[in-house]
């Protein structure tokens, strides 16, 4: 479904969101341990999230990553768009370059329906919400 980059990125940003909600700043080292991901690779992913302004990075001792207040409202759809592009929202299930209601692939109509559900779900799920679930021990990020 999602690339490894995207999986790590989602886990990382959700973890940072949770920690931010508890007023903690977290280092790459901590992140990769807590979400069980390869550290150097996760660093690259975090760089992308930083460049795209979804997380804020702080260099030097006592540095790390946080999410700024207003960015806690970021939707998963946005994180995924940054890391995997929007093929998942727009691409044809059978890989046709052009495929739409006018000239649909055999799966098109069945597909758009499910994809819309997916998109709606991702567009209505914010980091804030997921951080709360995590804080309430309703979910886990590891294993």
Partner DNA sequence: AGATTAAAGGATCTTTTTATCCTTTTTTAA
Partner DNA sequence: TTAAAAAAGGATAAAAAGATCCTTTAATCT
One residue of 46, 54, 82, 134 binding DNA per CB under 7 A: 46
Say if residue 96 is exposed, middle or buried (CB neighbours under 10 Å; 0-12, 13-18, 19+).
Answer: middle
* Cβ neighbours for 54, distance < 8 A, ≥ 6 positions apart: 13, 67, 71, 74, 78, 79, 82
Yes or no: say if 76 and 125 are a contact pair by the CB < 8 Å rule.
yes
Rg (Cα) of the chain, in Å, rounded? Answer: 17
Instruction: For residue 71, state whether it binds a copy of itself (rule: CB under 8 A).
Output: no
Instruction: For residue 120, state whether it binds DNA (rule: CB under 7 A).
Output: no
One residue of 11, 20, 55, 82 binding a copy of itself per CB under 8 A: 11
Binding piece for DNA, criterion CB under 7 A, among 25-33, 68-76, 99-107, 122-130? 25-33
Binding piece for a copy of itself, criterion CB under 8 A, among 2-10, 26-34, 45-53, 61-69? 2-10
Residues near DNA (CB under 7 A) are 3-5, 8, 27-29, 38-41, 43-44, 46-47, 50-51, 57-65
């Amino acid at each position: 479904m999602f690339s490894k980059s995207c999986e790590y990125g989602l886990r990382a940003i959700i973890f940072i969101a949770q920690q931010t909600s508890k007023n903690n700043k977290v280092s790459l080292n901590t992140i990769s341990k807590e979400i069980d991901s390869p550290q150097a690779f996760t660093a690259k992913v975090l760089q992308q999230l930083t460049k795209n302004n979804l997380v804020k990075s702080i260099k030097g001792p006592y540095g790390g990553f946080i999410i700024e207040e207003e960015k806690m409202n970021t939707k998963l759809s946005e994180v995924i768009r940054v890391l995997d592009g929007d093929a998942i929202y727009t691409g044809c299930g059978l890989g046709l370059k052009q495929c739409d209601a006018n000239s649909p692939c055999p799966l098109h109509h069945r597909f758009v329906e499910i994809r819309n559900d997916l998109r709606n779900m991702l567009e209505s799920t914010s980091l804030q919400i997921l951080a709360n679930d995590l804080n309430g021990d309703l979910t886990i990020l590891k294993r």
